[in-house]
Amino acid sequence: MDSNTGKNKVVLFEPVYWGAYRKVQRAPLSLMAVASLLDKEGYPIRIISQTLYDDPDKQALYDCKDAICFGITSLTGYQIEDGLRIAKIIKEAYPQLPIVWGGWHPTIEPETTIMSPFVDILVRGQGERSFTALVHALEEGKPITDIPGVSYKKDGQTFHNPVAKFEDINNYPPMPYHLIDVEKVLSNDEFGNRVINYISSYGCPHSCGFCSEWALSSRKWCGLTSQRMADDFENFINKYRVDCVAVNDNQFFLQQNRVREFCEELIKRNLDIKWDNVAGNIRPLLKWDDEMWELMYRAGCRSMFVGAESGFQEALDMMDKKLTVEETIQFAEKSVKYNIRIIFSMMIGLPWGPDIDQTRKLVREEFDGTLVLAKKIIEISDRHRPSFTIYTPYPGTPLWDKALKLGVKPPASLEGWSNWISRIRNTPWIDPKLVKRSQFISEYVFFFMDPTAYGWVTARVNNVFARLILKASYKIYIRIGKFRWKHKFYSFPIDYYVYRLGREILGIA
């Protein structure tokens, strides 16, 4: 119990994203969000992650001695594996302490999650209000049967309360960055040496058939006001000396007036700060006029993340992307005019069905068409970065039933979902060789063809000797990557495996 507040602690844990060797320097925003109301009420909050603590397990065991509950956030994939690992440690040390899971995966797949012996309670969907009410109930020994968005077990049965009502995030307090050591989550990239991650909106109204955002927000969206965003950016500069903000929204550019007012506010306050990796949709952004694009650049926008998805028009139509291949090319050209770099996300391996042989043929056409699109994008500007992912089916998405009919077998336990990631083939119609080739091109060839990567990657290695070796080898790899791309030579990727080993040794995320 905290001697100043008289309240017991709430302990929150963020599992690792990409495996133990890749330390990702970023603020655990999902945990900070659900802690915001409790922090305002005076609860002592401990947020633990691999980035924030040298020994997160030891810290969690220490803090749980006087905790109300132990919370774990999780995306589908690696975070489940690490989340289960720490949950087992805490359950063994404190068998009576409630272990509460929340986040993306428990929301889209609550049944197998709540069945795990290392999960006591779930918080689904928007968790700020639900988790606060849950902590109050646990502290006071009251029932949790009526708390929206909560799932729980009782007498061998599982129960799922109705999801919480979608709420405007302007009703919540500012993100409590004071709960963490900000210095430990700052990173660097091509636009800044003190980069902090941030989120200004929740949800997405679009209907892309592969996206599990549907299950989280039911196609609703809300964003912070332009005034509040500008306040946050000003606070980053004055309090933490931040020079760039990585905006992690799913849809930042949804309301043009909001973006315009935000840009005008940054300029009016004379805030010298960049913002990058900002997500949006190609078609509406393509319609914004010259004045708007120029305003965004003057206000500090330097890069965007967009879903081009495919160079195969039939694939775009099938996933209901509401986009044409030609519009993607036009967007790549338009952004060059305003010196804004674009990361184009592309996907391969859709569940065309129901004939698996025909599906495999169409997947090959997807891949070939997407390679052609990537080539055109790079020719427009080598600062643009195509990025390939393998389609991974998620429950609750429009394409899920198609995937099931083509032979996808969903995991029957929470443990099984830890392998449900794009790097691991979970769809029987995608050729394993195609998976490896797309990863090789995206993670390796495109990486070394990107002229912006050299500076920030080498700067992330602190050891002077290791940095010298990296710089020397990097320039060799640039030549290899360009040679492979020019001659379409993707066989015998020995250099790729050496490169991946080097990243593991250096711990570069």
pLDDT tier at 19 (50, 70, 90 boundaries)? low
pLDDT tier at 21 (50, 70, 90 boundaries)? very low
Task: Count Cβ neighbours within 10 Å for each residue of 18-32 and write b for 16 or more, e otherwise.
Answer: eeeeeeebbbbbbbb
Cα–Cα dist 504/498, whole Å: 10
Query: Which listed CATH number (1.10.460.10, 3.10.20.440, 3.80.30.20, 3.90.1200.10) goes with 186-429?
Result: 3.80.30.20
Q: Report the alpha-carbon angle 151-157-161, nearest 5.
A: 25
Residue 503 has pLDDT above 50, yes or no: yes
Convert the pLDDT of each residue in 176-235 to its tens digit.
999 999 999 999 999 999 999 999 999 999 889 898 887 777 889 999 999 999 999 999
Average pLDDT over residues 401-415: 95
Specify the amino acid at residue 418: S
Tokens of 140: 């006071």
| Domain edges within the chain | 9-160, 186-429, 432-509
The DSSP symbol for 301 reads B
pLDDT of residue 505: 75
pLDDT of residue 469: 83
pLDDT of residue 6: 52
Residue 89 has pLDDT above 90, yes or no: yes
Average pLDDT over residues 432-459: 90
Convert the pLDDT of each residue in 346-391 to its tens digit.
999 999 988 999 999 999 999 999 999 999 999 999 999 999 999 9
Residue 245 has pLDDT above 80, yes or no: yes
84 Ramachandran zone, left/alpha/beta (phi>0; psi -120 to 50): alpha
Average pLDDT over residues 297-323: 97
Average pLDDT over residues 431-454: 92
Average pLDDT over residues 102-125: 96
Contact, 29 vs 197, CB < 8 A?
A: yes
pLDDT of residue 137: 98
Residue 24 has pLDDT above 80, yes or no: no
> Would you tell me how many other CB atoms lie within 10 Å of the CB of residue 432?
8
**Residues β-bridged to residue 222:** 202
393 vs 506: which has the higher pLDDT: 393
| Percent of the chain at pLDDT exceeding 90 | 83
Average pLDDT over residues 405-416: 95
Average pLDDT over residues 53-62: 96
pLDDT of residue 7: 65
Residue 433 has pLDDT above 70, yes or no: yes
pTM of the model: 0.93
> Would you tell me how many other CB atoms lie within 10 Å of the CB of residue 480?
16
pLDDT of residue 2: 56
Task: Compute the mean pLDDT over every residue in the chain, rounded to the nearest whole number.
Answer: 93
pLDDT of residue 207: 86
Tokens 């797949």 locate to: 109
| Percent of the chain at pLDDT exceeding 70 | 97
Least confidently predicted of 5-14, 312-321, 457-466, 487-496: 457-466
426 vs 41: which has the higher pLDDT: 41
pLDDT of residue 457: 81
Residue 72 has pLDDT above 80, yes or no: yes
The domain 9-160 having CATH identifier 3.40.50.2300: the answer here is yes
Three-state secondary structure call for residue 51: coil
pLDDT tier at 25 (50, 70, 90 boundaries)? confident
N residues, the chain: 509
Residue 43 has pLDDT above 60, yes or no: yes
Written as one string, the DSSP assignment of 120-177 is -EEE-SS-HHHHHHHHHHHHHT---TT-TTEEEEETTEEEEPPPPPP--GGGSPPP-G
Written as one string, the DSSP assignment of 368-437 is HHHHHHHHHHHHH-TT-EEEEEE----TTSTTHHHHHHTT----SSTGGGGG-STTS---TTS-HHHHHH
